[in-house]
Amino acid sequence: MLIFAYTISVVLMVSLPLAAAVWWRRRVAVPWYLFCVGAAAIILSQVYHIPLNNWLTDLGIIGPVKAGAPQLLRTAVILGFSAGLCEGLARATAFGLLRYFHKAQHWADSVMVGLGHGGIESMLIGGVMVAASVTSLLALQNTDLSTLNQTPEQIAAIEWQLSLFLASPLAAAIPLIERIVAMSLHVVVSVLVWRAFARRNPLYFVAGVAYHTLLDSTVVYLVALSVSGWQMELVLALLAVPGVVWLWWTRDKAELAAPHRVTAVRQEWHTFLVATRKELLQQWRTRRVLVVCAVFLLFGLLSPLAAKFTPQMLTMVKGAEQFADLIPQPTINDAITQYIKNITQFGFIIAILVGMGAVAGEKEKGTAALILSKPMSRWAFLCSKFVAQGVLYAAAFGLAALATYYYTLILFGPLDFVAFLLGSVLLWVWLLCYAAMTLLGSTIGNSVGASAGLGLLGAILLLLLGSVPIIGGIAPSGLVGWASQMGLQESVTANAGALAGSITLIITLLITALAVFEVQEV
């Protein structure tokens, strides 16, 4: 029940920002790129926010955040102010650039930027980090904390987190409520900063930074005092109420009442399903299904065979007999390792080859303009291509997993089929990250060649992301490490953070592709 409650909470923290942005777009006419600008602003603000906090800590200006620490109130205020100022400057830069290019001229636009700012924070901090924390706390649930190589302060912090985690399934709602409050704050502050430009009054910017400082300082101070989660959320909600009331009171009624064309939800989903069916038929008629499934099936067949017979094949090579004795006796671990290595080495290349012409190819041929002249929304056109690729890779992974399982069972012995299949599902999600990256490249590029280059560059960046400290654990590469343990007769170290991070990455890449495609002339 506890895991289920936190799963629902994480899913909502990742999906609610997207749902809020979709609802706002149907309420008023705002483009997707404003959501992306808001998301980029908060991410880029951390480039100087984190070093600033580290520098202030080294100078002794920021002290320890714990009960009884000297100058705790000052530390809380400084931390809150650094967050408010750094993010406020990023917002101001974003709105300054937007207005320079004659964008974000309306009140509704500033709300969309705020949804992007708070939305990506909800996905990353709320969804990804909570998922990673829950995984870690589950592993520590029955562990003697005194055996950990941690300081007494760190052990005390872990014990406090465990007490909150194990208190009740209702505790899973606490981070969700916190993210909703934080999103409300980001929307309010974004509107304040926008007003500083719209009315040429810097006092609105000062008010936004001050309001952000107040809420963040309160969070730091209450965390240091180990205040219970529900009490903390009550205090934060009370502090957020004035901002939400001000936002509602100062709303632009004319913009909200302005008529704009909105297609019925049922009709949009109908066109999406029609577009998806068209993509699946096109993949079948072009023999793409057969080629991709054949390649994955070949990987599935050869992986356990290669693991089993490599030592024997070495004995048949003249001069290599001496190395055959150095190779240990093959096991089930070797079969699964070979399977995952083959999939990960060639999977992202297949994703690039399959997806590089998804959008760019149709723009080159002129079929995109013909299709979009029909009553089809651009999101349906774009997302149908991603869904069709996802279905194709799911079928290919299914064949590869069955082939690997069958030969592993014959050559090595029993293997947990359900766990191994779940591991293949994790690899499928991993591959979808590269499919989404390639789709973004295909949307940006004006030709298939340029799209292939952009897709390859994005794939390299994703591969390098796995080697970055801290981020690597929640990057798509974390799914590979998790999948490599599935099906083996040993304890599995779950990595829900990598799963949530990969899904968040896919959503972000699709939104970015849609934002680019929305402003293109085809």
Asked if residue 456 and residue 428 are part of one domain, the reply reads yes
Q: Which of 201, 227, 257 lies at the terminal end of a domain, its last residue?
A: 257
CB 438 within 8 A of CB 356: yes
User: Could you give the percent of the chain with pLDDT greater than 70?
Assistant: 89
Among the ranges given (5-19, 34-48, 314-328), the one the predictor scored with the smallest mean pLDDT: 314-328
User: CB of 87 within 8 A of CB of 81?
Assistant: no
* Model pLDDT, residue 375: 76
Average pLDDT score over residue span 359-373: 77
The answer to whether residues 338 and 221 belong to one domain is no
Q: Are residues 277 and 246 in the same domain?
A: no
Taking only the tens place, the pLDDT of each residue in 143-180 is: 666 666 666 666 666 666 666 666 677 878 888 898 99
Q: Of the candidates 199, 231, 257, which is a domain's last residue?
A: 257
Q: Please give the full DSSP string across 417-457, using - where no structure is assigned.
A: HHHHHHHHHHHHHHHHHHHHHHHHHHHH-SSHHHHHHHHHH
Same domain, 33 and 126: yes
Q: How far apart are the first and last CA of the chain?
A: 50
Q: What is the pLDDT of residue 335?
A: 82
The answer on 364 and 221 residing in a single domain is no
- Predicted confidence at residue 212, as pLDDT, reads 95
Query: Long-range contacts made by residues 86-89, C-beta under 8 angstroms, separation at least 24?
Result: 86/45, 86/46, 86/48, 86/49, 86/52, 87/41, 87/42, 87/45, 87/49, 87/117, 87/189, 87/212, 88/189, 88/193, 88/205, 88/208, 88/209, 88/212, 89/45
Q: Report the C-alpha gap between 23 and 163 in whole angstroms.
A: 37
In the prediction, which pLDDT does 152 show? 66
Residues 205 and 310 in one domain: no
Give every CB contact of residue 104 below 8 A, 6+ residues apart in sequence. 34, 37, 95, 98, 110, 113, 194
Residue 404: both structure tokens together: 């690997």
Number of domains into which the chain is organized: 2
State whether 82 and 212 are in the same domain: yes
Same domain, 191 and 276: no
Domain boundary among 234, 257, 280: 257
Question: Tens digit of pLDDT for each residue in 453-474?
Answer: 888 898 888 888 877 777 777 8
pLDDT at 224: 83
Do 21 and 128 fall within a single domain? yes
Give the other-Cβ count within 10 Å of 266's Cβ. 8
Closest CA to 387 of 268, 277, 294: 277
Whether residue 246 sits in one domain with residue 346: no
The residue segments making up the domain with residue 413 are: 265-518
Q: Please, where are the H alpha helices in 149-258? A: 152-167, 173-198, 203-224, 229-249, 253-257
**Phi-psi bin for 250: left (phi > 0), alpha (psi -120 to 50), beta?**
alpha
In whole angstroms, give the CA distance from residue 62 to residue 85: 16
Which residue, among 435, 436, 432, 443, has the nearest Cα to 378 in the 3D structure?
443
- Chain segment 141-153, per-residue pLDDT in tens: 666 666 666 666 6
Over the stretch 198-235, which tens digit does the pLDDT of each residue have?
999 999 999 999 999 999 999 988 888 878 778 888 99
Q: What is the DSSP string of 246-265?
A: HHHHT--HHHHHS------H
Residue 311 has pLDDT above 70, yes or no: no
- Does 406 lie in the same domain as 336? yes
Looking at the predicted structure, is the pLDDT value of residue 24 above 80? yes
CA 267, 273, 277, 283 torsion-angle sign: positive
* Mean pLDDT of the 354-366 span: 81
Question: H or E segment at 324?
Answer: helix 321-324
Q: Structure pTM?
A: 0.91
Angle formed at CA 177 by CA 174 and CA 179, multiple of 5 degrees: 110
- Together in a domain, 157 and 282: no
CA atoms 22, 25, 30, 31: torsion sign: positive
Query: Average pLDDT of 250-277?
Result: 84
Q: What is the spatial distance between Cα 18 and Cα 170, in angstroms, rounded to a whole number? A: 24
- pLDDT category, 248, cuts 50, 70, 90? very high
Report pLDDT for 357. Answer: 81
Distance CA 332, CA 145 (A): 34
